[in-house]
Chain A
Amino acid sequence: MEPILIILCVVVGGLLASLGAHLLPVGGAPAAMGTATGIATGTVQIMLGAAMTGLFTAASAATFTDSLLLVALSGAIGATVMICVVMLMANILYTFGCGIVPVSGRVDVDPLTKEPQAPYKTPQTDGHGVPNVVYVSGMLGGFVGGFGGALMYFALLNYADFTAGTAAIGALSIFVPNAIIAAYNIRGTIEGFHDPKFKRLPFAMVTSLVVSLLCGILVVIASYLTVGGTM
């Protein structure tokens, strides 16, 4: 077991979880009524879903490879696919079910495609659905979050020498507080990297760093006491 590598992987994973939560299109309750951009649920549910899918793919990859990059990337791909499908389904429901166009509420012109947003926005609302820039941001968020979760899983499995089940639940448990602290930082809803709230990212990063550092130390203690080895 390698204590420095465990702590490093857990801290990096926690920071990536926090960054991923900031990039996701979280709509919350207003999005459920079609009056805000994003997926109609809280950060926790979206991030937990993405991270769990990522952990499943990462765990499958970890059964036949010892490469850190391969395991972490497969986790990232799993989370990205999951979040993309959710965003696509949200768009289908909003467009064909409610009859509203996906449009961002925070910017007048899409920063990536330069499409105008403001003329299509219903007055008194905060955008609808998942427009292009938000979709790209959500993809990045899923990728980053899944990468972080899988990184923690790999560290717990191979460096801390836990069994696969223990490593998976441990990674999920360290991932969850980091994502939730990020959710508190963004106060419920966020569109992605173009949202003004994204500038609050450093605050969540500091908290995430401290919490995941402490969790990493606890994992090292647990690993040292159960599996044994040289510090």
Chain B
Amino acid sequence: MTVTPAVVEEEPTKKGLSFKLPLDETEMGLVAGIVAAIVLVFTGLPAVIKGIALILAFLWGMDSVRKTSKYGLGTGVPSIGVLATGFGVVGALVGLALAKYGSIEGVAYPAVLVGAILMGVIGLVAGILSNHEKVIAMKIPRLERAMMELGMAGTLIILLECSIVTGSLNFDAVVNQVLNTGLIAFMFIFTCFGLLHPYNACLGPDENRERTRMVAVEITGLICAFLGFAMIILSSSSWALWNGVSLLIFGVAVWAYFFWLFIKACMDEAYETVGTGMIKTIE
């Protein structure tokens, strides 16, 4: 007598993910760094283009967080994201202070990139000391490079956010509209979460880069919506108002689309999860 299996085994159909940027981590860093730097220098660009550069910069930062945290930091993923934001704010202050050199008022501020480079140097020094056998000895492969990238990505992100809100990188304008209004506190926390949350939320044995990136893009959408809202409130001209409205719509659209994609990807991939049954009790 043959026993027919109760459940007919089906071939699991793994659907291809619909979000794929065909770039590995190094290429992603280069593309994101260059695009974000170019968009950052020309502050007259529409806010939506800056928003796209912001998404790329967040993807870069998220990649660096991911490849470092994979080895286990001992303090949780949030620490490295907060570290990047801390470096980023210091770098942004220096970049903004340097902005007036070689600038065309209201159009291009090439000197701000020096802030990102200086922060890259500090990140590299911190990474070397953290990984060196005789100092902290974290023994994480390529930690030096990751910390350097995090310093640079953090600086670019904070500067891009300042550039989106004020529409220029003049130190006094940024101080008046971003720092003294307290907007920087929101930016600090939101940037922390944009960097640390994707990997922190997705980590586990079945983590994959594409799905983690969807969360990064989704959070950046939320940040764009928030920055657009801030622009509408702070706007002094109709150009700034419409820039803010367009960024708000862009941010909400990006958030909604990638949230839907992420849920769909989770459901598609969860289909293959195999139950292990109840834990056996000892009689």
Binding site for B on A (CB under 8 A): 28-29, 42-45, 48, 163-166, 169-170, 172-177, 180-181, 183-185, 187-188, 203-204, 206-207, 210-211, 214-215, 218-219, 221-223, 225-226
Contact = CB atoms under 8 A, between A and B. Distances in A.
B75 A184 contact: yes
Contacts of B137: 203
Contacts of A165: 175, 179-182, 184
B76 to A, nearest CB: 5
Contact of B136 (A43, A176, A207): A207
Contacts of B229: none
Contacts of B129: 181, 206-207, 210-211
B184 A169 contact: yes
Contacts of B80: 180
B125 A211 contact: yes
A176 B179 contact: no
Interface residues of B, number: 42
B1 interface: no
A222 B180 contact: no
B166 interface: no
A21 to B, nearest CB: 10
Nearest to A43: B75
A229 B35 CA distance: 36
Given A42-B79, A165-B180, A181-B130, A215 B136 contact: no
B90 interface: yes
Contacts, number: 129
A215 B86 CA distance: 11
B93 A166 contact: yes
Given A43-B79, A226-B171, 9 more contacts: A44-B76, A45-B78, A170-B89, A170-B93, A173-B88, A181-B126, A184-B79, A210-B125, A218-B93
B74 A184 contact: yes
Nearest to A215: B90
Contacts of B126: 177, 181, 207, 210-211
Interface in B103-153: 118, 121-122, 125-126, 129-130, 135-138
A184 B175 contact: no
Contacts of B125: 210-211, 214
A43 B75 CA distance: 7
B122 A214 contact: yes
A181 B136 contact: yes
A206 B78 contact: no
Contacts of A169: 89, 179, 184-185, 188
